[in-house]
């Protein structure tokens, strides 16, 4: 049988006992038990509260500041809860079961405890508590993975584009903690043959922002598929934001493009969001004559588009600010717009030199930014590349 951590070191035991004679007896029993124990003592529950970095607490139920099962309940309310074994002189029927039901791992009666029984009980209680914590942590991890998977499906959909001649690449990286944030993207081909794409970012981080981002992405796709004009799509998306956000100060930045059916020009809507790049060597920012407010900002004014001529062959990249704001070389300097343009131009050259490497252009860009940062990015990041005439 494999050894556990508790087999390799002394058990850390906190005795909460106000009676000096009983404390001496417990110490002697441990000495005779053959179990290596690092024994500490507190005389009150208040004193014990600062000493709970142990494997097991031996708890007397008759303390100066706590009596009966209430002592267990108070002990179990702290942020760190070790195993608890009740040690008391009270022998009335049913008290042991009630103590275990209240959260203790076991129950011992003073005067009936042998050295062997004490050592075995404390060791087993610590192992059971460790197993309980591991099982709880595993359940939480599974629950978090399930929630993340559900949000990924809502935030990061499969592009809905039937034109096989159009290049559509998408990429996403969760932040350093692995939890999805409010970044989202989508690409949809409309009934008239035009292609609409969006990249958005809900202000803040965490499951609430991720859930709101998923709702905005769904509202955007539904509005596009319903054939609404682009400006009205933004109106509907903002209405959903206002209705579903948890606090009135929550807002979302967003960039939307609509590529015309001939693939030679596009409409560009900027809603408080970074300007997309024309992805080439060199990579440059698209002209953006019209800039609008972020969604959810309580100021007057809607959104107007800029018309961008694309030509016969092009690639455009939309992104969230996670790639712009990432720090590089282990310092505080940020990659920024110029740095990101250089990274993208470098990856365009590398992709042209070795297009069959097996890694698409978006993955190359994200991996290069990650390498410059020196590990996983702090903020979540989404990228969308749309291209025509590049294959």
Whole-angstrom CA distances from 34 to 29, 119, 374 are 9, 8, 49
Q: Is residue 250 part of a domain?
A: yes
Contact 241, 247 (CB under 8 A): no
CATH, residue 24: 3.40.50.2300
Q: What is the pLDDT of residue 149?
A: 61
Q: Are residues 161 and 120 in the same domain?
A: no
Residues 249 and 369 grouped into a single domain: yes
User: Which run of H or of E encompasses 316?
Assistant: strand 314-319
Number of domains in the chain: 2
46 is a domain residue: yes
* 273 and 357, same domain (yes or no): yes
In 234-296, the DSSP E strands lie at: 252-259, 265-271, 277-278, 284-285
Tokens at 40, concatenated: 């500490």
Long-range contacts of 304-307 (CB under 8 A, 24+ apart): 304/231, 304/269, 305/230, 305/231, 305/258, 305/267, 305/268, 305/269, 306/267, 306/268, 306/270, 307/265, 307/266, 307/267, 307/268
Do 117 and 264 fall into the same domain? no
| pLDDT score of 388 | 95
* Per-residue model confidence (pLDDT) at position 6: 54
170 and 309 in a single domain? The answer is yes
For residues 191 and 268, membership in a common domain is answered with: yes
* Assigned domain for 6 exists: no
Q: The CATH number of the domain where 349 resides is what?
A: 3.60.40.10
pLDDT of residue 73: 82
- Are 53 and 191 members of one domain? no
Q: What is the DSSP string of 209-243?
A: HHHHHHHHHHHHHHHHHTT--HHHHHHHHHHHHHH
Q: Is 265 part of any domain?
A: yes
Q: How does pLDDT run along the chain (391 residues), one tens digit per residue?
A: 344 555 567 899 999 999 999 999 999 999 999 889 999 999 999 998 889 899 999 999 888 888 888 888 888 877 678 899 998 776 665 777 788 888 888 988 888 889 999 999 999 999 988 888 888 877 776 666 666 666 566 567 889 999 999 999 999 887 755 556 788 999 999 999 999 999 999 988 777 888 899 899 999 999 999 999 999 999 999 999 999 998 999 999 999 999 999 999 999 999 999 999 999 989 999 988 889 999 999 887 778 999 999 989 999 999 999 899 889 887 889 999 999 999 999 999 988 888 776 678 999 999 999 999 888 888 888 999 999 987 5
Is residue 279 one of the residues assigned to a domain? yes
Q: Confirm whether 3 is domain-assigned.
A: no
What pLDDT score does 87 carry? 83
Q: How far apart are CA 207 and CA 149, in angstroms?
A: 12
Q: Are residues 337 and 264 in the same domain?
A: yes
Is 130 a member of any domain?
A: yes
Please check whether residues 304 and 353 belong to one and the same domain: yes
Contact between residue 52 and residue 139 where contact means Cβ atoms under 8 Å apart: no
CB 322 within 8 A of CB 379: yes
337 forms beta bridges with: none
Residue 145, pLDDT score: 61
Number of Cβ within a 10 Å radius of residue 216: 29
Q: Kindly state whether residues 231 and 115 are assigned to the same domain.
A: no
Range of the domain at 332: 156-388
If asked whether residues 191 and 131 sit together in one domain, one would say: no
244 and 309 co-located in one domain = yes
pLDDT of residue 143: 65
| 50 domain-assigned | yes
């Amino acid at each position: 049988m494999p050894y556990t951590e508790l087999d390799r070191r002394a058990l850390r035991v906190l005795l909460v006992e106000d009676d000096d004679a009983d404390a001496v007896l417990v110490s002697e029993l441990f000495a005779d038990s053959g179990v290596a124990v690092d024994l500490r003592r507190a005389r009150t529950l208040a004193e014990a509260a600062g000493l709970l970095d142990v494997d097991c607490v031996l708890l007397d139920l008759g303390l100066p500041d706590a009596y009966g099962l209430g002592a267990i309940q108070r002990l179990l309310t702290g942020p760190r809860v070790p195993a608890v074994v009740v040690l008391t002189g009270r022998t009335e029927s049913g008290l042991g079961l009630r103590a275990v039901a209240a959260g203790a791992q076991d129950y011992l009666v003073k005067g009936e405890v042998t050295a062997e029984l004490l050592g075995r009980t404390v060791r087993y209680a610590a192992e059971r508590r460790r197993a309980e914590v591991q099982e709880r942590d595993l359940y939480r991890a599974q629950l978090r993975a399930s929630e993340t998977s559900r949000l990924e499906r809502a935030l990061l959909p499969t592009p809905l584009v039937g034109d096989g001649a159009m290049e559509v690449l998408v990429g996403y990286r969760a932040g350093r903690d692995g939890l999805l944030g409010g970044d989202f993207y989508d690409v949809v081909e409309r009934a008239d043959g035009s292609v609409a794409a969006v990249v958005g970012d809900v202000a803040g981080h965490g499951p609430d922002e991720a859930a709101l981002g998923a709702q905005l992405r769904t509202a955007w796709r539904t509005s596009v598929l319903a054939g609404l004009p682009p400006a009205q799509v933004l109106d509907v998306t903002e209405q959903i934001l206002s209705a579903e956000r948890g606090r009135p100060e929550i807002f979302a930045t967003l960039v939307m493009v609509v590529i015309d059916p001939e693939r030679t020009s596009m409409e560009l809507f900027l809603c408080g969001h970074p300007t997309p790049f024309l992805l080439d060597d060199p990579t440059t920012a698209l002209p953006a004559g019209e800039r609008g407010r972020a969604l959810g900002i309580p100021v007057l004014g809607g959104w107007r588009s800029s018309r961008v001529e694309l030509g016969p062959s092009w690639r455009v990249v939309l992104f969230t600010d996670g790639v712009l704001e990432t720090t590089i070389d282990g310092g505080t300097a940020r990659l920024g717009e110029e740095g990101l343009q250089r990274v993208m131009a470098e990856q365009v050259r590398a992709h042209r030199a070795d297009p069959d490497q097996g890694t698409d252009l978006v993955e190359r860009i994200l991996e290069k930014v990650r390498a410059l940062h020196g590990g996983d990015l702090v903020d979540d990041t989404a990228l969308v590349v749309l291209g025509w005439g590049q294959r």
